[in-house]
Every structure is written in C-alpha cells, then in structure tokens.
Amino acid sequence: MLDIIQAKNYEDMSEKACEIMVDRLNALINPILGFATGSTPEGVYKQLIEKNKEKAISFQNVMSFNLDEYVGLKKDDPNSYYHFMFQKLFKHIDILTDWIHIPNGVAPDLEKECDEYEQLIRDHPIDFQILGLGVNGHIGFNEPNTSFSSRTHIVELDESTRQANARFFTSMNEVPTKAITMGIQTIMESKELMLLASGSHKADAVAKLINGEISESFPASALKNHQKVTVIADEAALAKA
C-alpha cells in the first residue's frame, strides 16, 4: 500500500520529506539510512544539512548505503554518485566517513563488488530508504523488466535513462552505459521507504505508479507490495494521477 502525501511544489515536497526523516532519525538509536542521487532529493539534503547545523539532528551514529553508482566512474569524477553524495550532503554533516557505503563502480571485479555490497546490507538492514523515480518507472537503476527478486547487480542503462541523465555530462558519449544498483528485492527489504517525485516530467510515471498494476515492466510498482512506503509528490507530478 502506498501512503501518498501531496506537496505544493518542490520546496514543499523537500520540507515534508525532511520532517519525516528528522522524526525517524531521532526515533532510531543507530539508524541505517539508504540514500538516493538525482535532482529529486537535493532539496531534502539541503534541509537535512540545516537541521544538522541547528543540532536538531545528528548523523554521528548513522550508517548509510547508497542505491547505485555508475560503472567506470572513479570516486573523484564529478559525475560519480560518490562525488554527488559528498558534495550535496556528506561533507556538510557529522556522519562518520567509515560508515558511508556507496558501490565502487571501478572495482576490479564488479560481480564480487555487487555480492559484497549485498552482503553488507544483509548484515546491516536498512531502516529507511529514500527513492527517486525514473521517467520509465525505475527505482535505483532497476530498469523496466528487472526481476522483482533481483539483488545488487550490474545493469545496462536504458537509452531513456542515459538521455535523462545526459544533462550532467558534456556529451551523450560520456554517459556511462552500465551501473551497479541495489536490486528490487534489496530495496524492498528496507524497513521503510519514501519515494519522492516532483515536476510535470514525472506525471506519467507517478500516474502509472498510483493507478497501474503491479508489474516488472514498471519497477516502482513493486513498492505496492511493501508494508511501509510513503510517496511524496508535488502537484505537477500528481497532475495525471
């Protein structure tokens, strides 16, 4: 079941999401958080930084796992998700670097990297996972027709996903063709999930999520089988639902 919260706009969506996170962070003793990249959660991260500065929350006892990383981009590549997370959140808060986990997209043995990442999550089950939504319904980098039983694995990125993310690269050729992502089953094992969506370009995907059937052709629909998932979407994203 999806618990849907309507927000006015991006700012309001980010505020509502931050409120929920502050609540969970303060309720859990040693929170294990799952973070997402992309433009959607940036506003929440900005607000979490402020809350941390005001000492309304602390990340000192937080362990984190990120959903995904491009294959072939080093940590210091400006387009790596490692770089994104440090620039947008981690370097501004009191989280312990040793407790941050992001898949290594340049690991010499990528299969082994996936297995080890999956095992780490099994050993440290995620309490609260943030998700964005791809225009094709992807969550993490699980593209349409990924098995709902998938675990951390390497994916070939959809052309539509590469195009959607091309805005961050100087040319389409530079957009990686592969990524490591938590699988859908990995994501579903988080105790709580929060999916965010903003803007009219997400309206079709949000409508399909809310009104469509549960199908592997639309990865985000798996969330309807989860016990505790909140969708926070703004008016533009909810326009077709």
Question: Which active-site residues does the annotation give?
Answer: 68, 136, 138, 143
One character per residue 125-144, x = contact with ligand F6P (rule: CB under 6 A)? -------xxx------x---
Residue nearer to ligand F6P on the CB measure, 133 or 209: 133
30-59 residues in contact with ligand F6P (CB under 6 A) are 36-40
174-233 residues in contact with ligand F6P (CB under 6 A) are none
Residue nearer to ligand F6P on the CB measure, 37 or 152: 37
155: number of Cβ within 10 Å: 21
Position with the least CB separation from ligand F6P: 132
CB of 56 to ligand F6P, least distance (A): 25
CB of 98 to ligand F6P, least distance (A): 24
CB of 13 to ligand F6P, least distance (A): 11
Tell me how far apart the 2 most distant CA atoms of the chain are, in Å: 45
Residue nearer to ligand F6P on the CB measure, 68 or 113: 68
146-165 residues in contact with ligand F6P (CB under 6 A) are 161, 165
Residue nearer to ligand F6P on the CB measure, 5 or 28: 5
Where does this chain bind ligand F6P (CB under 6 A)?
Answer: 36-40, 132-134, 141, 161, 165
